[in-house]
Chains A and B, each alone.
Chain A
Amino acid sequence: MKIYIWLFCAAIGLTACTKESEALKTALQNNNPPVTAPLPVQPALKRGLLYPTSGIQVMGVVKIIQQPSGLQVQLDSFSVSAGPDLKVYLSQAATPGNHLNLGNLQSNTGTQYYNIPAGTNLSAYSFVLIHCQQYNHLFSYASIQ
């Protein structure tokens, strides 16, 4: 009997493994190609400074820019404390509720871009939020003007 229990405990000890497929690796590379030349600087339609909530460290500037493919949120000179499930929201207020989820935070540091869906009424959104959805904890907010 003991051997079954030990084998099962050993199996549990190996838990929480994940491995990406080649298809996923390729898709991610295509979506985020490595930067080989400086991107042309786009004038910001709106911009704002990121501020932390209690216990969080953050720095960076949020810009709304017009790219040929559409509007984007740009996080510039950005860094934030690590979190388990961080999202980028366009929001009508400094807290989540009336927001537009732009997706998972791509990285805790560095310049990054998030597509804003076509047809979005940008004037309705005055804030960009970095929000941990899994634990419903706001990490950072920026008022964009």
Chain B
Amino acid sequence: MQVFSKKYSILLSLIVVVVANNHLLAQGCSDAGFCTIPLRPAAVSKNNIQTELAYLQGEENTSLATLSLSYSRQLSKQLQWDNKLVLAYVNGNYGSVYNLGDFYSTLRYGVKTASGKMVHLLGGIKLPFNQSNLKIGNVSLPMVYQTSLGTYDLVAGAAFGVGKLDMNVAFQLPVLQQNRNSFIKEQAPLLGDFPTTNLFRRKADVLWRVGYPLKSQTKKWSFNPNLLAIYHLGEDSYENVFGRRENINGSSGLTLNANLQIGYQISQHKSLQISLATPFVVRDTRPDGLTRSFVASVAYQFGW
């Protein structure tokens, strides 16, 4: 690996220090991929398969492991089709749950601007594989134990460069709310800080990622320290025991994450990527259960 300049080394060191701090609290992002869907093409092959294993630490002693399989196909020079399916295993004080999560399907279109720069536009859908009401025995579980948010979402985004910075913006809008979670705090058999999420309704998110991609001189190694901001556009709500809808105070607002992606190009069609992330600004309440204090993942991609 080539040695980077002093400026880059300092920047990388800062990111690593932030990422390594496990005591910071929670992020807010759909595990199934809204935060991890690459808005920019990552491979040169016509067909690509990626498997990714991720470990996530949540609140109240919960931890998650996810296994995802992605398939992408270059339909034309400008157009790429991406699909991602996620399996999730959640473990915590209530026990463990293993189930399918969400499925993403997106189209990405690359256009050249008048100044000759490439902009990649993305549009797609997220489909849930369950209604977010997985139970252990007859016990309703908080959202953090659910492997899907239970919503059908539209996803739109764009990736473009500004100088040496890599910018990604995206929008995730729940259009069909099929969440049937039935967790009611007052009726829960275990004490805990999980809020009531009975018939939970979720608001939209806006994502903004700014990265500073670096490559070694041999192009084998790549580093992308980046900041990921997610703004939750409004307060989520639930149905109380009297059948009335109530907003969840503090569930809207900003989450700010530090993320470091390290890539290694094994060959022209094979690559490895490690990603480490942790939040340092969080919403007051994260009833959707997307409450990670630390995320680490390793992905292997090959194409043909």
Which residues of A are at the interface with B, using a C-beta cutoff of 8 A? 1, 4-5, 8, 11-12, 14-21, 23-24, 27-28, 31, 85, 87, 96-107, 117, 133-134
Contact = CB atoms under 8 A, between A and B. Distances in A.
A20 B187 contact: no
Interface in B5-44: none
Interface residues of B, number: 38
Contacts of B99: 15-17
Given A19-B136, A101-B241, A134 B190 contact: no
Interface string B76-107: 00000000010100001111111110000000
Contacts of A117: 186, 241
Interface of B: 49, 51, 67, 69, 85, 87, 92-100, 131, 133-140, 180, 182, 184, 186-187, 189-190, 198-199, 241-243, 302, 304
16 contacts: A1-B49, A8-B85, A17-B96, A18-B135, A21-B93, A24-B136, A85-B182, A99-B242, A99-B243, A100-B241, A101-B198, A104-B139, A104-B182, A104-B187, A134-B180, A134-B182
Contact of A103 (B87, B96, B133, B187): B187
Contacts of A133: 180, 182, 199
Contact of B242 (A5, A23, A100): A100
Given A11-B87, A85-B133, A133-B180, A27 B190 contact: yes
Given A12-B87, A18-B98, A21-B93, 16 more contacts: A8-B69, A11-B87, A15-B98, A16-B98, A19-B96, A21-B94, A24-B93, A31-B189, A97-B243, A98-B242, A98-B243, A103-B187, A104-B182, A133-B180, A133-B199, A134-B131
Contacts, number: 103
Contacts of B131: 134
Contact of B190 (A8, A23, A100): A23
A48 B214 CA distance: 73
A1 B32 CA distance: 22
B100 A27 contact: no
A104 B136 contact: no
